[in-house]
């Protein structure tokens, strides 16, 4: 009788472990969920909405990952230095600002810089095209990564002489929603400046040195350079 009881207990425990393992694997797979050709659903809708707003996607926002969405994702990946495979995996979703379980922690740490970056963008680039506003934010973040500049957002923005808006007080203006969105897009990895660490207005700049810098792109009234 005792032997039968032990067998029953062992069998129940064994199958319980199998079921628990299955749920753990399922949970992990959800964390690393991705959208690809043929996928449907709300995540695809988010992808299409983002890419259409940024000019990568021209099709309908229908939640269907078809050929147009595939090519738009590839275009976005190519422009942002990501692996060009047409699959919206964790890295691509993070760059688009679409939060997954695995990216929540980085989003939390970045949120402390969001307001300050939005203030800088609003002071320096309000009235510029949206892409140009994101590019200004990207310049700040590119400086953070560079050994030639302070390694924090605040350090870069408040570096002596770095930005006119700090000197004239416009850094203290309340940013609008557009500036906040641009700051978030820059933090999420979108860099329409193509790695620039400087920018200037060609119609007003008189510094010969800044004119000598290699240009990456011109957006609105700003020329971006390295």
Same domain, 122 and 79: no
What pLDDT is attached to residue 213?
A: 95
Among the candidates 98, 129, 164, a domain finishes at 98
Q: What is the CATH number of the domain that holds 147?
A: 1.10.10.2520
The number of distinct structural domains making up the chain is 2
Asked if the structure places residue 142 within a domain, the reply is yes
Residue 39's contacts (CB-CB under 8 Å, 6 or more residues apart) are: 65
Residue 111 banded pLDDT, cuts 50, 70, 90? low
Range with the lowest mean pLDDT among 69-73, 110-114, 179-183? 110-114
Which of 79, 98, 117 terminates a domain? The answer is: 98
pTM: 0.56
pLDDT score of 106 more than 70? no
Are residues 177 and 201 both part of a single domain?
yes
Q: Which two tokens stand for residue 188?
A: 């999420």
When pLDDT is averaged across residues 204-225 and rounded to a whole number, the result is 95
- 123 and 90 in a common domain: no
Is residue 22 over pLDDT 50? no
Looking at the structure, tell me whether residues 167 and 87 fall in a common domain: no
pLDDT confidence bin for 34, thresholds 50/70/90: confident
Question: CA 140 to CA 182: how far, in whole Å?
Answer: 12
Residue 64 pairs in a beta bridge with 40
pLDDT, tens digit, 9 for 90 and up, residues 149-167: 988 888 899 888 899 998 8
Residue 208 lies in a domain: yes
| Position 199 confidence tier, pLDDT thresholds 50, 70, 90 | very high
Strands (E), the chain: 198-200, 215-219, 222-225
Does any domain span residue 185?
yes
Nearest to 171 by CA among 159, 181, 187: 159
Host domain of residue 90: 42-98
What's the pLDDT score for residue 146? 92
pLDDT at 26: 41
CA 216, CA 194: separation in Å to the nearest integer? 6
* pLDDT confidence tier of residue 141, bands split at 50, 70 and 90: very high
User: CA angle, 143 as apex, 118 and 198 as ends, to 5°?
Assistant: 85
Q: What rounded mean pLDDT belongs to the chain?
A: 84
């Amino acid at each position: 009788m005792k032997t039968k009881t032990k067998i029953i207990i062992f069998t129940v425990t064994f199958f319980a472990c199998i079921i628990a393992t299955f749920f753990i694997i399922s949970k992990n797979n959800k964390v690393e969920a991705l959208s690809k050709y043929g996928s449907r659903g709300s995540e695809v809708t988010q992808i299409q909405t983002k890419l259409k707003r940024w000019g990568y996607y021209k099709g309908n926002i229908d939640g269907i990952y078809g050929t147009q969405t595939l090519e738009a994702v590839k275009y976005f990946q190519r422009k942002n230095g990501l692996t060009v495979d047409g699959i919206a995996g964790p890295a691509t979703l993070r760059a688009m600002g679409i939060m997954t379980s695995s990216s929540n922690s980085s989003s939390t740490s970045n949120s402390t810089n969001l307001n300050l970056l939005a203030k800088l963008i609003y002071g320096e680039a309000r009235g510029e095209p949206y892409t140009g506003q994101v590019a200004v934010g990207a310049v700040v973040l590119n400086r953070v990564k560079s050994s030639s500049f302070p390694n924090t957002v605040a350090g870069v923005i408040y570096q002596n002489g770095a930005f006119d808006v700090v000197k004239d007080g416009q850094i203290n203006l309340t940013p609008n929603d557009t500036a906040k969105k641009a700051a978030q897009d820059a933090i999420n990895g979108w860099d329409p400046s193509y790695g620039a660490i400087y920018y200037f207005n060609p119609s007003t700049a008189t510094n010969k040195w800044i004119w000598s810098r290699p240009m990456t792109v011109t957006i609105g009234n700003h020329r971006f350079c390295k």
